Amino acid sequence: MRVTVFGASGLLGHDLVSALSGEHDQLTALSVEDADLRDHARVRDVIRDSRPDWILLLAAYTDVDGCESNRDLAFAVNCEGAVNVAQAAREAGSRLLFVSTDYVFDGSKRSPYETSDPRNPTSVYGESKARAEERLLEILPEVCIARTSWLFGHGGKCFPATILKLSSTRSEISVVNDQRGSPTFTRDLASALVQLCRASARGIVHVTNSGNCTWYELAAEIVRVSGLPTAVKPVTTAEFPRPARRPAYSVLSADSLHAYNIRMPEWQDALRRYLGSTPVPTPIVP
């Protein structure tokens, strides 16, 4: 299987490249320096030259708060850039898997979101990804859109790494307890994406680790498993205002993933594996 990956140097990209390399695929791994999604001619050229069976589009402008003040950039990369890839994929006869987000939903539900639930993003980031989904389905009806959430992994910034860093210098940290979702380990997500390609998946698929929690519950588990003495205090979103509104509930139903006989580990198991290969900082006593 010939595969071209856009966003190979990102948090998910590292694990995806590793998963594909281990399976003897003909892989073209592109960072943003190799191919800017906004450059339609460059995108078309690399896809024409690599002649992939599958294109995996991970690259995106993912600074959720930054998107609020850089709307044009968010749409240029996340929407128009994705359209450039889809159009080139159609010309080359390649399949496309597009990684999307739980932020396409407004968070008003209290049961897991199904793939058929209407999009209603409340942030610029979510809106840029939602519009991209709609455009890609028009250009490539057979596209596979893999929505995921709350990514963590090695090789970049993520929530567990932040909690570990804060816990090394503070005796107490405050974390919001009124946003609920499914933490997803990039290593597990990468494996699932490869399986979706091999299954010739199409349409929208929700791909997260199993189970759900709040950010506070996640932080408390990180501290507990790591054996750190830091106290974790639950607070409300209102006490920590951010430029972009986050969904209060963004748990994604796994039914669409199970339809391909793919199962994801529980988030607690994924977190233990992540922490098992992450150095725990020595707390600094004030």
Nearest to 50 by CA among 88, 98, 17, 12: 88
Nearest to 149 by CA among 224, 255, 249, 20: 249
Relative orientation angle of helices 186-198 and 11-21, to the nearest 10 degrees: 50
Alpha-carbon span 80 to 125, nearest angstrom: 13
DSSP string, 204-229: EEE---BS-EEHHHHHHHHHHHHT--
Nearest to 87 by CA among 40, 145, 34, 52: 40
3-state SS class at 160: helix
From the list 61, 103, 113, 125, the catalytic residue is 125
The secondary structure element, H or E, covering residue 100 is: strand 95-101
Nearest to 55 by CA among 119, 24, 98, 23: 98
Residue with tokens 């680790």: 209
Q: Is 216 a catalytic residue?
A: no
Residue with tokens 């390399």: 21
Alpha-carbon span 53 to 258, nearest angstrom: 24
- The residues carrying an active-site annotation are 125
